[in-house]
Amino acid sequence: MGVLKRYGTYLPISEKTPSVNLEEGNTPLVRLDRIGNELGIELWGKLEGCNPSGSFKDRGMVLAVAKALEDGARALVCASTGNTSASAAAYAAHVGIPCYVLLPSGHVAMGKLAQALIYGAKVIAVDGNFDRALEMARTCAELKGFAMVNSVNPYRLISQKTGAWEICESLGRAPDAHVIPVGNACNISAYWAGYKDFKAWGKITELPRMIGIQAEGAAPLATGKPCPNPETIATAIRIGNPVSAELAKAAVAESGGEFLTVTDDEILAAQAMLASKSGVFAEPASCTTLAGLVKLGHAKKLQQGATFVIILTGNGLKDPDAALSQVGEPVRIGAEMEELLEALA
């Protein structure tokens, strides 16, 4: 059951809203005990890479596209660091409307680029960063009358709240702390709103602390300073001017949480740790979460025994280059048993 069917009564849809469904949402919440035990916490990972286009974006895109169709939109447009464009292109293909995507040239992971192209979107590589591409996409939406499906589209945030609802339903409560990568800052804002909904509806009693993680080279919220030239290996969150900055700051302040930065080396180390000690392969941006927990652990600032959920926002397969950059080559042998036995020794 997709997000619109599962949570329709809590979302702004009516009989006039076309049903759109790629069976998004309902992603696994997996207990990561080997790592949790090492850190002294109860650790859960929300595997958003299991969504149909391989990232959390599908949760918000399904409602944004349904509402765009309801409003008679002719086409979709977005700017993206990769995942939004993959998701928009997938849903546009599913419902049969054109999709235009603006990407920061040379800074989008290979898998995401392949997705947008094979889903049939018109892909435009802009010689500028994501923040500039987003300005151009907004102007394009106005000039051409296309539906803008970046997170400036309010339906994206509303429908991404479903991630928080699912976590509370799985755990029977909210976690003590919710740890999430922050780029354009929509997802942290959506999760906070989702948790607050569940509290207001009497389904949970306590709210989590919201811990937002940014890459050191793209950390306008963590540092409180603008970042005109963002740079990080976690290309998904290579963003200097987050659209939902104010909502994200409110989420962290109201929840008694914090913003943290992690370096590219810490992100890659966390990616390898997550994969090799839990069997979960997530893309670099997602692994900022574990990198943040490791950093808090080293500083003796992790509340021992508490329940932490990390949002693993995108599938590791989207960015094979990042993973391959830190592992060795396979052992090569001839097709002889002696060579195999030698290699195993």
Contact set for ligand F0G, span 306-345 (CB under 6 A): 313-314
In the complex, the smallest distance separating the C-beta of residue 328 from ligand F0G, rounded to whole angstroms, is 26
The answer to whether the CB of 333 falls within 8 A of the CB of 340 is: yes
Q: What is the DSSP letter of 19?
A: P
Joined together, the tokens standing for residue 56 give: 């959390």
| Site track 101-140 with ligand F0G (rule: CB under 6 A), x = hit | ----------------------------------------
Would you say 36 or 212 has its CB closer to ligand F0G?
212
Determine the distance from the C-alpha atom of residue 137 to the mean position of all C-alpha atoms in its chain, rounded to a whole number: 20
In the complex, the smallest distance separating the C-beta of residue 263 from ligand F0G, rounded to whole angstroms, is 17
130, 154, 148, 156: which is closest to 58 by C-alpha? 156
Would you say 104 or 175 has its CB closer to ligand F0G?
104
| Site track 38-67 with ligand F0G (rule: CB under 6 A), x = hit | -----------------x-x----------
Q: Indicate whether 289 belongs to the interface with ligand F0G (CB under 6 A).
A: no
Category of 40 on φ-ψ map: left (φ > 0), alpha (ψ -120 to 50) or beta: left
148, 52, 145, 156: which is closest to 102 by C-alpha? 148
Three-class DSSP category at 330: coil
Task: Please select the residue that binds ligand F0G; options are 27, 51, 53, 80, rule is CB under 6 A.
Answer: 80
Q: What is the DSSP letter of 172?
A: S
Q: Indicate whether 159 belongs to the interface with ligand F0G (CB under 6 A).
A: no
Would you say 177 or 236 has its CB closer to ligand F0G?
236
Round to whole Å and give the CA distance between 274 and 323.
12
Three-class DSSP category at 25: coil
Stretch that binds ligand F0G, among 116-124, 165-173, 282-290, 292-300 (CB under 6 A): 282-290
The answer to whether the CB of 292 falls within 8 A of the CB of 29 is: no
In the complex, the smallest distance separating the C-beta of residue 226 from ligand F0G, rounded to whole angstroms, is 16
Contact set for ligand F0G, span 166-195 (CB under 6 A): 181-187
Joined together, the tokens standing for residue 312 give: 């693993």
Would you say 42 or 267 has its CB closer to ligand F0G?
267
Three-class DSSP category at 260: strand
The answer to whether the CB of 151 falls within 8 A of the CB of 186 is: yes
Task: Please select the residue that binds ligand F0G; options are 27, 51, 83, 261, rule is CB under 6 A.
Answer: 83
Would you say 69 or 237 has its CB closer to ligand F0G?
237
Would you say 189 or 307 has its CB closer to ligand F0G?
189
Please provide the size of the chain in residues.
345
Which positions touch ligand F0G (CB under 6 A)? 55, 57, 80-84, 151, 181-187, 236-237, 283, 285-286, 313-314
